[in-house]
Amino acid sequence: MPYRAPLADFRLLLDLTGFAEVAATERFADATPETVEAILSEAGKLCENTLAPLNRAGDKTAARLENGVVRTPAGFVEGYREIASGGWVGISADPAYGGMGLPIALTSCVNDMMGSACLALQLNPLLTQGQIEALEHHASDALKAIYLPKLISGDWNGTMNLTEPQAGSDVGALRTKAEPLGDGSYAITGQKIYITWGDNDTNANVSHLVLARIVGAAAGTKGISLFLVPKIIPDAQGNLGARNSLNVVSLEHKLGLHGSPTAVMQFDAAQGWLVGEENKGMAAMFTMMNNARLAVGMQGVAIAEAATQTAVAYAMGRTQGKTPLGNGAIIDHADVRRMLGQMRSETFAARAIGLACAVAIDMGRATSTPEWQARAALLTPIAKAYGTDIGNEVAYIGVQVHGGMGFIEETGAAQYSRDVRVTSIYEGTNGIQAMDLVARKMMDGGEAAYRLIDEVEAAAEAARSSQPALATAVWNASEALREATEALVGQDLNDRFAGSVAYLRAFARILGAHYHLQAGLADPARLPLAAFYITRLLPEYAPLLAQTREGAAGLYALTPEALLA
């Protein structure tokens, strides 16, 4: 089935998540209804007509390394050029350097559509957008003047180089070193792995952000600095000059995302420039990572959308046996309808949470209000983990809807499952997101969480008169979440960690129910889907919250011997 951009969902959810407040700020005054509609509709056309046709070809013909040159699948160069020429890389970037300066919420909608259409290609602008934000916040004016216009225009692409063979989530164990060259630049030496779009034939230059330790700096994360290391060294005007001393060692052979080149990068005294302060590299890199975490959450939503559209189309056209409604299409079987209902409702809930997070980020930037900034911080790990979990689960169900044909590559159902799998791993595994939620994001004693719960309860209370059963279910669930949060902030940190994944999932379940209820009130045609989610999926919150109270002791009772038995 051809991909169709879910514009109606974006329009409704931007309204429900408070985008009007964003557009009312001075910073985002250009985000008028006319501009928003133009952005959504034009991006939708690009994704439907240009990018979606590249998805299957990109899966069948992987990116490859030939004589030191990375070649992307047929059509990727042309597809990327349309992304770049349309200005889609720099939607939210600083207008002073060529960006549109529009809200992250709009960028999230566009990235959602691009990810559905061709996730392997969308990874290129996604990482560049993260690097743009990091440079805007931390780079010197000289570096900004050279790199930002090229990145925003899409002429160059950006990467993030953190991981090494011995240093994954433990970034402080990295061995890449930086030696001062005496002219303000550094010689960077080391190897990095899992570098998405680390080299390609779509961009004239690749701008690598690399974590490294300046010789003599402290061990661990406190001694890490961030460097900008270009593939080809530009002059002060951005004109390309000499090739830097870095190269692609190999490309990873991956479960999915075959069209996206994931490189092992070797830096051999490559010339690089410090971004931010010495030994403050993690703070600078976290700017890019936090941007990427929301964006990756929307990748999960994107694949869930594509998998759902594919499954619904298949179920409507596949006849198999006698059905209760008589026409023979498998969509009329109760269990198939259940699976499709779960796919659609989960996708809507995850998209709502992602856009709510984006709106909070925009409001935090536009107003500098601590409450909005705290909400954005709270929602980021939820949006990333829930969005990517749902992407995986919905793609899995999509294979099941197809039955035996789901296991056959020609239907495309299996590709969604393969492509989305890594999203729950990269940019911080979902377990790390959950630990972040219950630790760093609860350093305020749960105040940001309580403010959000208050809003959910107030909205449910207001809905009792028109939808008493659904509203009461949402209110009861949110009150249970409040009580669980109160208990959580009193726990030992490792006990919090033991129940963190369950807590995050329960929080997301309840937020999803809130947005479904509001959608049903705004558009009665959406009430059946809201009822499906609230009556069939929301009740999972109770056993999930029960897990958060169990602590860590029972987990450590599972000794290695017991696990191997």
pLDDT of 115-171, one tens digit each?
999 999 999 999 999 999 999 999 999 999 999 999 999 999 999 999 999 887 788
Q: What is the pLDDT of residues 276-319, one digit of tens each?
A: 999 999 888 877 777 789 999 999 999 999 999 999 999 999 99
Q: What is the pLDDT of residues 179-191, one digit of tens each?
A: 999 999 999 999 9
403 pLDDT higher than 90: yes
| DSSP three-state, residue 344 | helix
| Longest distance between any two alpha carbons in the chain, whole Å | 80
pLDDT at position 1, please?
67
322 pLDDT higher than 90: no
Query: Residue 530: left (phi > 0), alpha (psi -120 to 50), or beta?
Result: alpha
| DSSP three-state, residue 200 | coil
CA dihedral 106, 107, 109, 113 (to 10 degrees): 140
Rounded distance between C-alpha atoms, residue 246 and residue 266, angstroms = 6
Residue ranges of the alpha helices (H) in 464-499?
468-488, 493-498
Q: What is the pLDDT of residues 233-260, one digit of tens each?
A: 999 999 999 999 999 999 999 999 999 9
pLDDT at position 385, please?
98
Per-residue b or e along 132-170, where b marks 16 or more CB atoms closer than 10 Å to that residue's CB: bbbbbebbeeebbebbbbbbbbbebbbbbbbbbeebeee
Q: Which long-range contacts (CB under 8 A, 24 or more apart) does 33-36 make?
A: 35/102, 36/106
Nearest CA among 238, 244, 266 for reference residue 181? 244
Nearest CA among 257, 212, 233 for reference residue 416? 257
The pTM of the full predicted model, rounded to 2 decimals, is 0.97
**What is the pLDDT of the chain when averaged over all its residues?**
96
485 pLDDT higher than 70: yes
Which amino acid is present at 373?
Answer: Q
Residues with a known catalytic role: 427
Distances 175 to 190, 223, 230, 268, 291 between C-alpha atoms, Å: 7, 11, 20, 13, 25
The angle that helices 281-317 and 413-420 make with each other, rounded to 10 degrees, is 160
Least confident of 35-39, 318-322, 532-536: 318-322
323 pLDDT higher than 90: no
pLDDT at position 44, please?
98
Rounded distance between C-alpha atoms, residue 483 and residue 509, angstroms = 16
- Going along the chain from its start, the domains and CATH numbers come out as 7-152 (1.10.540.10), 158-279 (2.40.110.20), 440-557 (1.20.1270)
